C-alpha cells in the first residue's frame, strides 16, 4: 500500500505550526523545509512546505494562502492511555488561543481540530452491558474535555 501523508494547508504559519506540534508530541521532528523561489506565487524565500513527523507519522504543512481553512470535518485523534495524558494534550493544544469543544474535541491555535480520547472511553462505549454504555455516552455528551473518573461514575450509577 502506498504511504499516506496528511497535507495541512496554512496561510503563512506552516513552519510555526509544525514546530509547535513537534514540541507537543514525543519522538517528533521537523525533517525538511522548502521555500518559494522566484517563480512564486508567494515572495521568494518564504516557507513553502514543511515535512515533519509526529511520533513517526509523517505530515506536510503547506503555506498555500488564505483560500482554505481548517474545520471540524477533519480531525486527528490522540489515543490517550489515561487521564494524565488527556490532561497533558488538552492543556498543550488549547493553550495560547486554542478552543475547547464538545466530547473531547478541541481546536488548536492554528484552527486544526483534535480529538483527545482516553482508552477508557472506547472500553465504556463498547461495554457488553448496554445500560453502562448508555450512561457513559450520556455523560460524555455533556463534557468538553473527557473526564475518565466521571465517565466511570456515570456508567456505574445504575
Domains and CATH numbers, the chain: 1-68 (3.30.720.100), 70-158 (3.10.180.10)
- Mean pLDDT per 10-residue section of the chain, whose length is 158 residues: 95 98 98 96 96 97 96 96 98 97 97 98 96 97 97 93
In the chain, the N- to C-terminal Cα span, in Å, equals: 47
- Pair 118, 85: CB distance under 8 Å: yes
What is the model's pLDDT at position 90? Answer: 98
CB 94 within 8 A of CB 106: yes
pLDDT of residue 25: 97
Measured CA to CA, the distance from residue 23 to residue 42 in angstroms comes to 27
Task: Tell me what percent of the chain is helix, strand and coil, each rounded to the nearest 5.
Answer: 30, 25, 40
What is the rounded distance in angstroms from the CA atom of residue 112 to the CA atom of residue 8?
9
Q: What is the dihedral of CA 18, 23, 28, 33, to 10 degrees?
A: 30
- Is beta strand 47-54 parallel, antiparallel or unpaired with respect to 29-35? antiparallel
* Grid cell for residue 49: 512546505
Q: How many residues does the chain have?
A: 158
Helix ranges (DSSP H) in 1-158: 14-24, 83-94, 119-125, 130-140, 148-155
pLDDT at 112: 98
The pLDDT value recorded for residue 74 is 96
Sole residue written with cell 489515561: 82
Predicted confidence at residue 117, as pLDDT, reads 97
Residue 128 in grid coordinates? 457488553
Q: What per-residue confidence (pLDDT) applies to 40? A: 85
Amino acid at each position: 500500500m502506498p504511504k499516506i501523508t496528511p497535507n495541512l494547508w496554512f496561510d503563512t504559519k506552516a513552519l510555526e505550526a509544525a514546530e509547535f506540534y513537534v514540541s507537543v508530541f514525543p519522538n517528533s521532528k521537523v525533517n525538511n523545509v522548502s521555500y518559494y523561489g522566484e517563480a512564486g506565487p508567494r515572495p521568494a524565500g518564504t516557507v513553502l512546505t514543511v515535512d515533519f513527523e509526529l511520533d513517526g507519522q509523517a505530515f506536510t504543512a503547506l503555506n498555500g494562502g488564505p483560500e482554505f481553512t481548517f474545520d471540524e470535518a477533519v480531525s486527528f485523534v490522540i489515543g490517550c492511555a489515561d487521564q494524565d495524558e488527556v490532561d497533558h494534550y488538552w492543556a498543550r493544544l488549547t493553550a495560547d488561543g486554542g478552543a475547547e469543544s464538545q466530547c473531547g474535541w478541541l481546536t488548536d491555535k492554528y484552527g486544526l481540530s483534535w480529538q483527545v480520547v482516553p482508552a477508557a472511553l472506547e472500553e465504556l462505549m463498547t461495554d457488553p452491558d448496554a445500560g453502562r454504555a448508555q450512561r457513559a455516552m450520556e455523560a460524555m455528551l455533556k463534557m468538553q474535555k473527557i473526564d475518565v473518573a466521571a465517565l466511570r461514575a456515570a456508567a456505574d450509577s445504575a
